[in-house]
Amino acid sequence: MRSTKTVHVISAHAEGEVGDVIVGGVAPPPGATLWEQRSFIAEDQTLRNFVLNEPRGGVFRHVNLLVPPKHPDADMGFIIMEPEFTPPMSGSNSICVATVLLDSGILPMQEPETHLTLEAPGGLVRVRADCRDGKAERIYVQNVPSFAREIGVPLNVPGIGTLHVDTAYGGDSFVVVQAADLELDICEAEAKTLAQIGSRILDAANEQLGFAHPTNPDWAHISFCAFCGPLTSTPTGLRSRSAVTIQPGKVDRSPTGTAVSARMALMLAKGQMTADQDFEAISLIGSSFKGRIAAQTTVGDVAAIVPEISGRGWITGTHQHMLDPDDPWPTGYRLSDTWGA
């Protein structure tokens, strides 16, 4: 087999959402910080195109690059590549990364519980893993500080009308919509509808509302649209169905860890949740992430929470992505049937 490059990948998913992990064949990108390394990958596009574009990738795939950490407290660094963006943080991807690190033996596992610290571009991520018989069974991720931004603001969506939406940050930026306002039930049969409507809401939100992170001026857009179902009470807190649209127009198969974080920040700000309650989000496929508020803090001058989210991850295979020197599509390709316009 001829190849001008070989990228070694361990594939995984967290509660249904794919989060592959590059474990070899790629040198760390230039940059004095993980944010600078993230920015290089986002602007250069070479690695993103190779692993995310077809024929190796697709709209359903996220890929994480392991890099040496910059922070002295971190055990490993990782850079997240999603179909359209290279975000500060991702809940499902951090669960996939922790699962791969422990289940494959890259970092040592301690039973019944392993503690490690990951460094994402958005900051340090404390991880606790329940481990048994060589398997990390549940990953607990202390996410970066998360906060509510705008609450109940009008948004005019072409073809839909005026919605009242929230914006928030949970390691990535969200426009948050109540599904009942659109007569949606958040069920499997609505996946395509949610993807299409969510993309339209995202476009409108970025045009009319935008996003201002109080300490990171580089993050000035809204990445995701979160559809929220009604809240129901549990013995320890709250539960709700949810769905998140990811550009270029797909629905997250997991409940989206950053969305759980953003929604808890919103619920606390609205008085819908107290700091001692927990929250469980249910995805379209019935998988769940659990969340709790570990602490309260500030980001700049904005009140914020330190969320902890938890979920399960599984390794699905290993791959060696290669590039034949005669391949006429060395950077891959995207078509509008799945990638959108």
State how far the alpha carbon of 81 is from the alpha carbons of 84, 89, 274, in Å.
Answer: 8, 10, 34
The per-residue pLDDT for 332 is 96
The answer to whether residue 18 scores a pLDDT higher than 90 is yes
The per-residue pLDDT for 340 is 81
27: left (phi over 0), alpha (psi -120 to 50) or beta: beta
pLDDT tens digits for range 208-250 = 999 999 999 999 999 999 999 999 999 999 999 999 999 888 9
What DSSP string runs through 252-283? Answer: -SS--HHHHHHHHHHHHHHTSS-TT-EEEEE-
pLDDT tens digits for range 148-172 = 999 999 999 999 999 999 999 999 9
| Catalytic hit among 11, 39, 90, 92 | 90
The answer to whether residue 137 scores a pLDDT higher than 90 is yes
Decide if 130 contacts 112 (C-beta within 8 A): yes
In angstroms, the CA 18 to CA 268 distance is: 30
Average pLDDT over residues 310-314: 98
User: Is 90 among the residues known to form the active site?
Assistant: yes
Nearest Cα neighbor of 225 from 189, 262, 190, 188 is 262
Calculate helix-pair angle for 91-103, 257-270, nearest 10 degrees.
Answer: 130
28: left (phi over 0), alpha (psi -120 to 50) or beta: beta
Nearest Cα neighbor of 256 from 180, 337, 176, 165 is 176
The per-residue pLDDT for 341 is 72
Both tokens assigned to 156: 């005019």
Q: Is the dihedral of CA 288, 65, 173, 261 positive or negative?
A: positive
pLDDT tens digits for range 255-287 = 999 999 999 999 999 999 999 999 999 999 999
Q: 82: helix, coil or strand?
A: coil
Decide if 222 contacts 149 (C-beta within 8 A): no
Per DSSP, 147 falls in state: E
Residue listed under structure tokens 């791959």: 319
